[in-house]
């Protein structure tokens, strides 16, 4: 059974709450079919989503992954890359060996952050399987990475970055920023 993944590309900024609801339904389906399912979110947007998914799915825990040391641009960003918005460092409160892990990110773009996250996960053990879930997919791959679960495809100008924000009530919203450099 394949996940219900929308293929349409919205013409405006996506509604992050609608995408979250879609993603939740997809992950619920995976939870019903998988044993030893664990979720882990990339710091910080993916971690926000993972925390909310864990609560909505009544999972006992969720992991957080900080990819700073595995990034291929570490030399440019240095240690400041370690200081995420929430000060989150990698924490996987479950046995990685043999687990079915759904890696959560807010926006999938080139695939480079996902590559770094996989390296970080394998530093902790060898999962049975890792699948990717994202709210938004920009489809500008530099690496062969594909999300198993996604809210929607999103098209923006090449110089724009899609930024997930967590509002005070815990809900999500998307904004854009212009990329510098």
Task: Decide which of 3.40.50.2300, 3.40.50.2020, 1.10.10.10, 3.50.50.60 is the CATH code for 16-156.
Answer: 3.40.50.2020
Task: Report the pLDDT value the prediction gives residue 142, as an integer from 0 to 100.
Answer: 92
Rounded-to-integer distance, Cα 67 and Cα 79, Å: 12
Asked if 10 contacts 152 with a C-beta cutoff of 8 angstroms, the reply is: yes
pLDDT averaged per 10 residues in sequence order, the chain, 181 residues: 46 87 96 92 93 96 89 52 57 96 96 94 96 95 95 88 94 90 59
Question: Is this model's pTM higher than 0.95 or not?
Answer: no
Location of structure tokens 């939870």: 31
Task: Report the pLDDT value the prediction gives residue 88, as an integer from 0 to 100.
Answer: 66
């Amino acid at each position: 059974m394949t996940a219900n993944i929308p293929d349409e590309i919205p013409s405006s900024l996506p509604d992050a709450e609608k995408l979250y609801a879609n993603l939740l339904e997809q992950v619920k389906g995976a939870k019903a079919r998988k044993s030893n399912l664990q979720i882990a979110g990339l710091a910080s947007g993916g971690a926000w989503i993972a925390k909310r998914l864990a609560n909505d799915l009544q999972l006992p825990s969720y992991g957080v992954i900080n990819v700073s040391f595995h990034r291929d641009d570490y030399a440019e960003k240095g240690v400041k890359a370690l200081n995420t918005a929430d000060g989150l460092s990698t924490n996987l409160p479950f046995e990685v060996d043999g687990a079915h892990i759904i890696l959560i990110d807010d926006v999938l773009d080139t695939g480079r952050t996902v590559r770094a996250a996989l390296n970080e996960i394998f530093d902790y053990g060898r999962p049975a399987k890792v699948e990717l879930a994202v709210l938004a997919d920009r489809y500008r791959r530099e690496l062969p990475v594909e999300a198993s679960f996604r809210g929607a495809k999103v098209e923006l100008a090449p110089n724009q970055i899609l930024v997930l924000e967590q509002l005070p009530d815990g809900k999500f919203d998307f904004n854009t920023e212009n990329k510098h450099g």
